[in-house]
Amino acid sequence: MSGINVYAHYTSEEDYPDLDYTGACERLARAISCKTIDHGEKTEGAPFERLHALVRSSFPHIMAASTFEEVGRNLLITCPGTDPSLPCALLLAHQDVVPVVPGTENDWLHDAFAGELDETFVWGRGALDIKDMLMGELEALEYLLARGNRPRRTVILAFGADEETASAGATKLAAILEARGVRAEWLLDEGTTTMFAGALWGAPERVLTDVCISQKGYLDLRLDAHGEGGHSSNPFGGTSLERLSVAISHLVESRPAPELTPIVRDTFRALAPHITEEQLRTLVQDVDANAEKIASLAAARRGLYPFVVTTMAVDMLEGGSAAPNVMPGDASATINFRLLPGTTADDVLAWVEGALDGTGVTATAVHYTPAGRMDSTSGAGYAEVSEALEHYYRDVDVVPSFVCGGTDAIRYEAVCDSILRVIPFRPTPEEEATGVHGVNERISRRTYAQGIRVLVRLLERTVL
Ligand SMILES: [Zn+2]
């Protein structure tokens, strides 16, 4: 982790002095105290109902101006604009949070679901992922409405209830919008959240933050090797584990070369004037001509590796024998792939089947979410989001990128051509690294207030 002092980049914190930042922190704490964990069919509904009640009671101007729909546990809030001919602005977040990791309960300085706040922080699960964004979007819109503004453009807030698990809520909400013929000018959803050192990209003098315009795909593949068992004194033809191991080693040896997607080419182009590290500095003078060389340099760095590689992680092995003198029966391995934008499951399967040829091992896709569409830095909202970030975080270069995990945003591709994955809040890299899905998740009051300012400015400039 870099030692970036994010607060040294905060600026214009005096904006919107009449916004109730203290109340906003208290409302965020109450939202955190709703233990909204998705457990599929076993999900407890009451915490979600409490969160819905909190939203209803906390934002009177939004409630007066909007329709509030509960679609199962998912929420759709539509604040109609005065000009119905304009495509809407779509603000996303998810209500659900991940559980506390078993065994880490005692490492938390404050109970993860108590909704505690002190002079500096709002504490608890969801403070960064992602009740800050859910409540912050509402705070920003409420602030504007309370001051007599009527948006020209319709604003729709869509809050799924199971992003961390099935993401079925987002699929459902997107289908409703599509059926209604709703079009979104741009969509804002979670993405990366903090600032990072430009050194990774060969620009050691710079601090970066990114707006993600795609996301990687997700594929679990199971490899199966048939085995007959039997006494290991005659392993003629090899055991199932042996065939499986050979198959895995063929995959490892034949991995596709790293590649520079159009988005990462844009990242390097945006940074080119600041890149001082050789050989990168010379190569990025013509990114397209040198794409292969840049990709292999990037692939040699842990922090850039996932941005230039469809990654493959061999994660699960099943089916070994219980005794050293007994050959195993059927054996399987599960491999998790994260697909670069532009790469499909069929591409991966074609490569895998080629590599498995002659091994007697078969491959089956067991779970697949495609990579996101690659949107454009010239798409709607990109410039405005970048401007708002640059306005509140000085001396930070905003660059395009993509999310290496998954988010709900991909479900909305049919209703929006410009999907922007970026969280307006900038916690310290340490807070982000330990807190998100980890322990002592918290957001500082200062970080929360600054992110709300980003959202207010963005809405002022795009929907009023
Ligand atoms: Zn999240």
> Which residues belong to CATH 3.30.70.360 in the chain?
219-369
Residue in the structure block whose two tokens are 């608890």: 124
Nearest to 217 by CA among 372, 436, 5, 420: 372
Q: How far is the CA of 293 from the centre of ligand 1 (A)?
A: 34
Q: How far is the CA of 169 from the centre of ligand 1 (A)?
A: 14
> Which residues belong to CATH 3.40.630.10 in the chain?
6-199+373-462
C-alpha distance from residue 287 to each of 94, 244, 263, 268, 457 (Å) = 37, 40, 12, 7, 34
For residue 406, what pLDDT is reported?
Answer: 84
Q: How far is the CA of 192 from the centre of ligand 1 (A)?
A: 10
Q: How far is the CA of 215 from the centre of ligand 1 (A)?
A: 13
For residue 237, what pLDDT is reported?
Answer: 87
Q: How far is the CA of 364 from the centre of ligand 1 (A)?
A: 29
Q: How far is the CA of 446 from the centre of ligand 1 (A)?
A: 21
Q: How far is the CA of 131 from the centre of ligand 1 (A)?
A: 9
Cβ atoms of residues 164 and 49 within 8 Å: no
The token pair that represents 300 in the structure block:
């040699």
6-199+373-462 under CATH 3.40.630.10, yes or no: yes
Pairwise CA distance, residues 441 & 432, whole Å = 8
Cα R_g (the chain), whole angstroms: 24
Task: Report pLDDT digits (tens) over 217-256.
Answer: 999 999 999 999 999 999 998 999 999 999 999 999 999 8
Cβ atoms of residues 114 and 430 within 8 Å: no
335 preceded by cis ω (within 30°)?
no
Q: How far is the CA of 408 from the centre of ligand 1 (A)?
A: 9
For residue 165, what pLDDT is reported?
Answer: 87
For residue 405, what pLDDT is reported?
Answer: 86
Q: How, if at all, do strands 184-192 and 419-422 pair?
A: parallel
C-alpha distance from residue 110 to each of 26, 72, 116, 121, 399 (Å) = 15, 31, 7, 11, 35
Q: How far is the CA of 99 from the centre of ligand 1 (A)?
A: 13
Q: How far is the CA of 88 from the centre of ligand 1 (A)?
A: 23
Task: Report pLDDT digits (tens) over 164-186.
Answer: 888 899 999 999 999 999 999 99
Residues of the chain with pLDDT under 70: 1-2
Residue in the structure block whose two tokens are 């759709």: 76
Phi then psi dihedrals of residue 125, to 5 deg: -65, 125
For residue 1, what pLDDT is reported?
Answer: 45
CATH architecture of 219-369: 2-Layer Sandwich (3.30)
DSSP helix/strand/coil, 177 = helix
Cβ atoms of residues 88 and 28 within 8 Å: no
